[in-house]
């Protein structure tokens, strides 16, 4: 299957699951392919046939963007090295959860979350320690008795009941012994960091020198500016009331394409989008306001900028 077809299939799956999905981010470089929202759940999705192509820089960028946009970064892929990703298993690459499209269908369409995650040494599950302890006590087994049945130490059983995760094999033994499910789901949308070693918090990159004057103005009027390196926009800018996707370049066909993508992503993530150009020949591109650099330099505060953006987006071209 081509990557384009894979992106199309995943888009259709997310839409079937009730997500509003952005246009594909068909520009380079790009850290993610799609943004999607269902209620308060927001995803930034990278689609790869082979997840080994997912590098540390892209992972860091996706995690930063997830923080700024209130979204979960996610990679959907088909294989790693020479083997297919296992169904129902969550993998992690550079701090980002990764799983197969079939697992995504189970989670987002069927409402069945994955129970297994991959970590160094094998496949693991989250044991619900309270449920395990209750099941053991109802059976009137001591910690030592359960340890003997499992072939592990009494200390290990105590750790399972305290919340330590177990291998798939041990989890299967426990469920066979007690005749009930003891595993809790891998929380992909909230709390996935609890089941893998946390990556260091990625720091913002330095802005491109050509963008520094724009960053200076936005900072002056009250925004905190987070530069990007691999997104279809140059920065995410935040103040106390909103977030804003920011682009900057000459207004070329490529810039227009980026502005359209920013509008689509902004609609899904509920953020404003603005593209700064040297010379604007129109007011906006879809929902992305076009502002000339000289105009931006004359903005006095964040309210002025918000009003300017709104005027551009609301402007109607004469018939």
Across 70-100, b (16+ Cβ under 10 Å) vs e yields: ebbbbbbbbebeeeebbebbbbbbbbbbbbb
Q: Mutual orientation of helices 168-178 and 143-150 as an angle, nearest 10°?
A: 120
Give pLDDT, residue 269: 95
Give the pLDDT confidence score for residue 184 in this predicted structure.
86
pLDDT mean over 75-98? 92
Q: Are strands 272-277 and 243-248 parallel, antiparallel or unpaired?
A: parallel
- Arithmetic mean of pLDDT, 2-28: 93
Band of residue 108 on the pLDDT scale cut at 50, 70, 90: very high
Is 286 a residue whose pLDDT tops 70? Answer: yes
If one counts every other C-beta atom within 10 angstroms of the C-beta of residue 19, the result is 22
Would you state the pLDDT for residue 319?
43
The pLDDT assigned to 3 comes to 82
Give the per-residue pLDDT at 241.
Answer: 81
At 199, the pLDDT band (50, 70, 90 cuts) reads low
Range 233-248 average pLDDT: 92
Give, in words, the CATH class of 209-314: alpha beta
Q: What is the CA radius of gyration of the chain?
A: 24
The neighbour count for residue 191, using CB atoms within 10 Å, is 10
Q: Which two tokens stand for residue 45?
A: 């999705």
- What pLDDT does 242 receive? 84
Mean pLDDT, residues 188-216: 75
Whether pLDDT at 239 is above 50: yes
Q: What percent of the chain lies above the pLDDT cut of 70?
A: 95
In the predicted structure, residue 235 carries a pLDDT above the cut 90: yes
Superfamily of domain 123-184: lambda repressor-like DNA-binding domains (1.10.260.40)
Q: Do 3-114 and 123-184 share a fold?
A: no
Going from N- to C-terminal start, the domains of the chain cover 3-114, 123-184, 209-314
pLDDT value at 112 more than 60: yes
pLDDT tops 70 at residue 316: no
Q: Are 251 and 279 in contact (CB under 8 A)?
A: yes
pLDDT averaged over the chain?
90
Does the pLDDT at position 287 exceed 70? yes
What is the per-residue pLDDT for 41? 93
Segment 229-258 mean pLDDT: 92
For residues 167, 171, 176, 178, the Cα torsion angle rounded to the nearest 10 degrees is 140
Say if residue 1's pLDDT is above 90.
no
More confident residue, 84 or 240: 84
Closest-CA residue to 34 (of 49, 51, 53, 15): 15
pLDDT value for 315 = 63
Q: Domain 3-114, what fold? A: Trna Endonuclease; Chain: A, domain 1 (3.40.1350)
| Size (the chain), residues | 319
- Mean pLDDT comparison of 67-76, 162-171, 308-317, highest-scoring range: 67-76
């Amino acid at each position: 299957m081509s990557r384009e077809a894979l992106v199309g299939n995943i888009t259709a799956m997310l839409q079937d699951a009730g997500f509003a999905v952005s246009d594909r981010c068909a520009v380079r470089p790009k850290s993610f392919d799609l943004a999607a929202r269902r209620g308060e759940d927001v995803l930034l999705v990278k689609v790869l046939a082979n997840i080994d192509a997912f590098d540390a820089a892209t992972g860091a960028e996706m995690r930063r963007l997830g923080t700024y946009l209130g979204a979960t970064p996610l990679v959907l892929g088909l294989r790693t090295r020479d083997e297919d990703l296992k169904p129902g298993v969550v993998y992690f690459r550079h701090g980002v959860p990764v799983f197969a499209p079939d697992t995504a269908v189970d989670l987002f369409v069927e409402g069945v979350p994955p129970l297994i995650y991959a970590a160094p040494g094998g496949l693991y599950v989250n044991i619900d320690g309270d449920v395990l302890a209750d099941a053991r006590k109802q059976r009137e087994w001591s910690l030592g008795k359960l340890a003997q049945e499992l072939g592990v130490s009494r200390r290990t059983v105590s750790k399972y009941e305290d919340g330590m995760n177990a291998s798939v094999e041990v989890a299967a033994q426990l469920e066979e012994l007690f005749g009930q499910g003891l595993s809790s789901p891998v929380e992909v949308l909230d709390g996935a960091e609890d089941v893998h070693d946390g990556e260091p918090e990625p720091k913002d990159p330095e802005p491109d020198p050509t963008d520094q004057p724009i960053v200076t103005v936005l900072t002056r009027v009250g925004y905190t500016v987070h530069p990007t390196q691999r997104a279809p926009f140059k920065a995410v800018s935040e103040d106390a009331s909103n977030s804003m996707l920011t682009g900057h370049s000459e207004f070329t066909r490529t810039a227009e394409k980026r502005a359209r993508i920013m509008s689509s992503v902004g609609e899904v993530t509920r953020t404003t989008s603005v593209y700064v150009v040297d010379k604007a020949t129109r007011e906006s591109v879809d929902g992305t306001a076009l502002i000339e650099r000289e105009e931006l330099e004359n903005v006095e505060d964040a309210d002025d900028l918000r009003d300017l953006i709104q005027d551009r987006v609301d402007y109607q071209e004469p018939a």
